[in-house]
């Protein structure tokens, strides 16, 4: 695969980039709207509930949860406060370290997650999977993997990293 570091994107590359960004934003917006309408959960709520549902004992330390959903701890803390007021999660002192907190999935949160999952997965199928051929879906996976690999590479976060 040819690499062209240091050059600006061509007109065609910029067109593809804009199509990619605009389409993924429309897709995310539609999925978020449907999730909210079907279940009353935001995409942030769903991400937190999914991480807790998959965690051993349905609980995680705040720092682990922040890493799992890819958020800064301050953003997570504010969001958890809203979720806690709605009864979806609760925060308890960490049994092994009293400096930290554990986030625990409540029965109401688990029920909300279960209620949201089937409609959400159907929307993912309808809006993302079904419009693509098997080859396009495989290519989308390869593209996501390549982009994630680049973003996860050491030095990517620093200014001027190529």
What pLDDT, in 10s, does the model give residues 83-102? 999 999 999 987 776 667 89
pTM for the whole structure? 0.83
What pLDDT, in 10s, does the model give residues 95-142? 776 667 899 999 999 999 999 999 999 999 999 999 999 999 999 999
Whole-angstrom distance between the N-terminal and C-terminal Cα of the chain?
16
**Pairing of the two strands 89-93 and 59-61:** unpaired
Which residue carries 């958020």 as its tokens? 71
Complete domains list, the chain, with CATH: 26-150 (1.10.10.10)
Q: Nearest-CA neighbor of 82 among 124, 35, 42, 116?
A: 42
Q: In sequence order, which residues have a C-beta less than 8 Å from that of residue 48 and are 6 or more positions away? A: 65, 69, 76, 79, 80, 83, 88, 89, 103
């Amino acid at each position: 695969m040819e690499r062209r570091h240091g050059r600006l994107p061509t007109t065609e590359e910029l067109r593809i980039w804009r199509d990619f960004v605009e389409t993924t934003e429309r897709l995310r917006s539609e999925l978020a709207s449907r999730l909210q309408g079907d279940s009353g959960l935001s995409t942030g709520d769903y991400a937190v509930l999914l991480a807790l549902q998959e965690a051993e004992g349905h609980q995680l330390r705040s720092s682990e949860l922040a890493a799992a959903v890819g958020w800064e701890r301050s953003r997570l803390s504010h969001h958890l406060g809203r979720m806690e007021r709605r009864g979806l999660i609760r925060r308890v002192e960490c049994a092994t370290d009293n400096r930290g907190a554990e986030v625990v999935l409540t029965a109401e949160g688990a029920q909300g997650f279960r209620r949201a999952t089937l409609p959400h997965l159907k929307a993912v199928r309808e809006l993302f999977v079904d419009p693509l051929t098997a080859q396009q879906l495989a290519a989308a996976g390869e593209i996501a993997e390549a982009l994630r690999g680049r973003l996860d590479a050491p030095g990517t976060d620093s200014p001027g990293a190529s």
